[in-house]
Amino acid sequence: EPEVTQTPSHQVTQMGQEVILRCVPISNHLYFYWYRQILGQKVEFLVSFYNNEISEKSEIFDDQFSVERPDGSNFTLKIRSTKLEDSAMYFCASSEGVRGRTTNEKLFFGSGTQLSVL
Amino acid sequence: AQSVTQPDIHITVSEGASLELRCNYSYGATPYLFWYVQSPGQGLQLLLKYFSGDTLVQGIKGFEAEFKRSQSSFNLRKPSVHWSDAAEYFCAVRGGTASKLTFGTGTRLQVTL
């Protein structure tokens, strides 16, 4: 089965530093997502991205966050100035996005990047 | 707004025993429902999904789930659990034209030999 790849698997950073989390979605997929899971809490939606723009975002996804598809294969999440509460496992996902629809599609998740903010 | 409740945080079953993980959802119309499993150090893997039609859906690894509209439930079942089923299980809902999945808090399954 095709896979979503995330790098790095673990990242440690100092509070206030910028971090970029990287993802390589499945090659023919058109919809991309970031989710996060704070330790002991539920998996939370951050943002979805389609056709080179944000399709939907949650209230968590404030001005400190941004997403980008810098080339034909990568999808990145940038946190501009990290806070302690940004420590979490961040999951990237992708789906086919046939005709721009996602509601009945399977999301393929990566194995996550564990971000620790000190 | 859509939401999901998984009332059981942690469940322990013996290998070979049957399993039922509970999931209740809140959404105004017919939702799209999913069950994902997360093994340690792994990403989220889709077990099964419900969109319409037959309310009993079959998934991978011998899992099934039944959609009950009257109870707003989508419980996950397996007739005989294997030790390799030990993992965290998440129920999720997606509604309308939204692209996001809303997850429950998860149920951690422990399997004793």
Largest CA distance in chain A: 43
Q: Which two tokens stand for residue A51?
A: 């056709």
The answer, for A114 touching chain B at a CB cutoff of 8 Å, is: no
B105, A41: Cβ pair inside 8 Å?
Answer: yes
Write the pLDDT tens digit of every residue in B17-76: 999 999 999 987 778 899 999 988 778 899 999 988 889 999 999 999 999 999 999 999
Please give the residue that has the higher pLDDT: either B107 or A97.
B107
Handedness of CA A86, A81, A23, A55 (dihedral sign): positive
Terminal Cα distance for chain A, rounded: 36
A103, B105: Cβ pair inside 8 Å?
Answer: no
Query: What's the rounded Cα separation, in Å, for the pair B3 and B25?
Result: 6
B chain contacts of residue A107, beta-carbon cutoff 8 Å: 44, 46, 101
Q: Show which of residues 6-65 on chain A sit within 8 Å of chain B, judged by CB atoms.
A: 31, 33, 35, 41-45, 48, 50, 55-56, 58
pLDDT of B1: 76
Average pLDDT per block of 10 residues along chain A, 118 residues long? 89 96 93 92 91 91 94 92 96 81 74 94
Cβ(A92)–Cβ(A110) below 8 Å: yes
Closest CA to A25 of A60, A62, A50: A50
pLDDT of A60: 93
Q: How many helices (DSSP H) and strands (DSSP E) are in chain A?
A: 0, 11
Q: What angle do CA A4, B40, B98 make, to 5 degrees?
A: 50
